[in-house]
Amino acid sequence: MSPLPLPDVAGDWFAAMRAGDWEEAWRATDRIELERRRLQAQPGFAWQPEFLRWDGTPLRGRAVMVRCDHGLGDTLQFLRFVPLLGAARLHLMVQPQLLPLLTGGRGLGQVCDWWNLQTLPPHEVEIEVMELAYALRTTLATLPPPYPHLGLQLARRPALGLPRDGRLRVGLLWAASDWDGSRSLPPAALAPLLAVQGVRFFSLQQGPAADDPALADWPIERLSHRTRGIAEAAAAMNELDLVISIDGMPAHLAATLGRPTWLLLKHQADWRWMTERDASPWYPSMRLLRQPAPGDWATVIARAAWTLQRLAATARAAPAR
């Protein structure tokens, strides 16, 4: 939800969201929107990408077009709000990569390929998916759980059939997209994690990082050729005991599915993860592991390795008990 270029008000919004004071964040957005509408009344106004799509028109009982203009992870995170709109007709305009997973999803209305649609469906009001929390005046106390029907969508698809041998099955993602490379880990930083006994590691990584030459020496099984599509990646996650990921779309996917997810965060993490928390109100199944200082991935991985070792030991002891 990008505000108008009003530095003081935008700063208020980010500070409030990081502190978990969403009521104050919405008041900041109100101030931003008031200024936008003042400008809109003047000659020569032109809509800019940082402006909100929603103009304040009530959503309930209307034909609503929900656009997904940001990242894939943003769509998955804010998908939870779509079934709550009470629209008379609903069009969800998603990125084409999400079509196989979301088409026919309960409460999502008509799911369309936003990037390749030639003609917009008829609608009375439009809103970007990340604006839904503001439109609904959501607070920490009223935040709904992740979209609950993603697992039903996967039931229509064949399982990958990942092997079982008694070890914990853990999926790994260590490299973010080029949009923010500071979220990525250098591959060598994973060594303490990969040394944990009683764990079978699977790489869910895509892109150039999936073919890093260092993988040849890692005790990790590559799934990149079987998880190129998001629906296939979701099917793999459904068979894993745990997903350990940097901040990116796969972490949102795993946590929306309700899979245990450990999120590896850089020191100055995105506003949605707030501050000084090791749990996220957005995802009950997610654990946050934060850098204590900029660039300090070693402490994050050491903590993850220690916790994973305890988890693996508990899993080994469970059959004996």
Residue 291: the pLDDT is 97
Name the residue type at position 74: D
| 240 inside domain | yes
| C-alpha to C-alpha distance for 188 and 153, rounded to whole angstroms | 36
CATH number of the domain residue 189 falls in: 3.40.50.2000
| 42 inside domain | no
| C-alpha to C-alpha distance for 199 and 193, rounded to whole angstroms | 10
| Domain containing residue 281 | 168-320
The better pLDDT of the pair 91, 51 is held by: 91
| 43 inside domain | no
Burial class (CB in 10 A: 0-12, 13-18, 19+), 279: exposed
| 301 inside domain | yes
| 120 inside domain | yes
| C-alpha to C-alpha distance for 263 and 202, rounded to whole angstroms | 16
| C-alpha to C-alpha distance for 78 and 133, rounded to whole angstroms | 8
Q: What is the mean pLDDT of residues 145-150?
A: 96
| 44 inside domain | no
Residues 142, 181, single domain; the answer is no
| C-alpha to C-alpha distance for 22 and 7, rounded to whole angstroms | 18
For the cut 50, the answer to whether the pLDDT of residue 94 exceeds it is: yes
Residues 220, 293, single domain; the answer is yes
Residues 176, 315, single domain; the answer is yes
Q: What is the mean pLDDT of residues 143-165?
A: 89
Residues 184, 131, single domain; the answer is no
Bridge partners, 88 (sequence order):
none
Residue 8: the pLDDT is 60
Residue 316: the pLDDT is 80
Nearest to 246 by CA among 317, 314, 150, 180: 180
For the cut 50, the answer to whether the pLDDT of residue 144 exceeds it is: yes
Strands 242-246 and 168-173: parallel
| 152 inside domain | no
Residue 156: the pLDDT is 77
| 289 inside domain | yes
Q: What is the mean pLDDT of residues 104-129?
A: 92
For the cut 70, the answer to whether the pLDDT of residue 7 exceeds it is: no
With H, G, I as helix, E, B as strand and everything else as coil, classify residue 138. Answer: coil
Residue whose tokens read 């709000």: 81
Q: How many domains does the chain have?
A: 2
pLDDT tier for residue 79 given thresholds of 50, 70 and 90: very high
For the cut 60, the answer to whether the pLDDT of residue 1 exceeds it is: no
| C-alpha to C-alpha distance for 237 and 138, rounded to whole angstroms | 29
Nearest to 281 by CA among 8, 70, 1, 21: 21
Residues 178, 316, single domain; the answer is yes
Residues 173, 308, single domain; the answer is yes
Residues 139, 172, single domain; the answer is no
For the cut 90, the answer to whether the pLDDT of residue 38 exceeds it is: no
Residues 73, 111, single domain; the answer is yes
Q: What is the mean pLDDT of residues 37-44?
A: 82
Share of the chain above pLDDT 90, in %: 71
Residue 150 is encoded by which pair of tokens? 């993603």
Q: Note the pLDDT tens digit of each residue in 188-233.
A: 899 999 999 999 999 999 988 888 887 778 899 999 899 999 999 9
Residues 245, 183, single domain; the answer is yes
Question: What's the Cα-to-Cα distance from 28 to each of 32, 33, 62, 112, 247, rounded to whole Å?
Answer: 6, 9, 27, 32, 26
Least confident of 184-193, 257-266, 285-294: 184-193
